[in-house]
Amino acid sequence: MVVELSTERTVTEALFMTFQLAGEGPKIYEEVMVPLWFGRWAEALIDQLSLRSSERVLDVACGTGVTTRLTKTKVGPGGKVDGLDINAPMLAQAKELAGDLDIAWIESDVCDIDLPSESYDVILSQHGYHYFPDKPQALREFLRLLAPGGRLGFSIWDGHSPYTSAICAAVEHHISSEIARKQRSQRETPSANELKSQMSAQGFSDVVVYRQELMIDVPPASEFVPLHLRSMPIAAAFTELPEDAQNALINEVAESLADYVQGNRLVYPDAVHVAIGFK
């Protein structure tokens, strides 16, 4: 199923907390954040799912499609891969990047997916679950969409990294507490035990949740911080700051992360929880 993507869509405050990007956000997200962060986590997640050729896979909250494209290379031409997201600009970017890859892009809220039951062997999602407004309902939708024996695998942040703690503190000091609260919420995720019980409560079996850590390697704060913030839902609050306030924010992050400087790079640990369960 391929849906028409609406190019203009009002991104309201109500959608703010669900990682809604607009303007240049999806482009910077793909060009900067995907290679440095999300592409690396995508490979780690997909390795855990042992995808087989010819499987039917749905990537939920696919964003600009980094996990979707990687999945397509794993299941091959005989497999079917669909990417689903609520955000039209993210899907437009995903569609453009996928080029000739045979992937269908579906604009939908995860809690109410207009697709037939038992359509997929695997449902995966990277850094989406904690944004879902009704998690039990999303999990029930996944169970409905999975074929018997099918598997769900998703990853979400395990709290803050040294970098995200530093950026939230600097946003608090140089923008506002309200904007810092919104930025911190990007990393407010259920614990491993909560994930396990949420999945088991909806009927997933053999649920496992484990922690996966990577060393993240990004350019120095002076280069990375402005790009990172411009790819976030709080982008406007940063770009509207006077230049001296932007520089003060960036300098505070650089000073907080002095222990993580290696040559001309920032290298720090970050971690996700990976949850896997079966229908």
| Closer to ligand SAM by Cβ: residue 128 or 153 | 128
Under rule CB under 6 A, residue 270 binds ligand SAM: no
Instruction: Identify the burial level of 192 via C-beta atoms within 10 angstroms of its C-beta, where 0-12 means exposed, 13-18 middle and 19 or more buried.
Output: middle
Residue from 55, 82, 85, 270 touching ligand SAM (CB under 6 A): that is 85
Q: Which runs of E-coded beta strand occur in the chain?
A: 56-60, 80-85, 103-107, 120-126, 146-157, 205-218, 261-262, 265-278
Under rule CB under 6 A, residue 132 binds ligand SAM: yes
C-beta of 38: minimal distance to ligand SAM in Å? 4
Residue from 58, 67, 98, 166 touching ligand SAM (CB under 6 A): that is 67
C-beta of 262: minimal distance to ligand SAM in Å? 25
Amino acid of residue 11: V
Query: Taking CB under 6 A as the criterion, which residues in 13-52 touch ligand SAM?
Result: 18-20, 38
Strands 261-262 and 56-60, bridge-based pairing: unpaired
- Residue 133: other Cβ atoms inside 10 A: 13
C-beta of 254: minimal distance to ligand SAM in Å? 25
| Closer to ligand SAM by Cβ: residue 132 or 204 | 132
Window 97-116: contact mask with ligand SAM (x via CB under 6 A): ------------xx------
Q: Is 128:98 a contact under the CB 8 Å cutoff?
A: no
Contact stretch for ligand SAM (CB under 6 A) within 82-90, 202-210, 211-219, 225-233: 82-90
C-beta of 277: minimal distance to ligand SAM in Å? 18
HEC string of 47-110 equals: HHHCCCCCCEEEEECCCCCHHHHHHHHHHCCCCEEEEEECCHHHHHHHHHHHCCCCEEEEECCC
| Closer to ligand SAM by Cβ: residue 128 or 150 | 128
Q: Would you tell me which residues interact with ligand SAM (CB under 6 A)?
A: 18-20, 38, 61-63, 66-67, 85-87, 90, 109-110, 126-128, 131-133
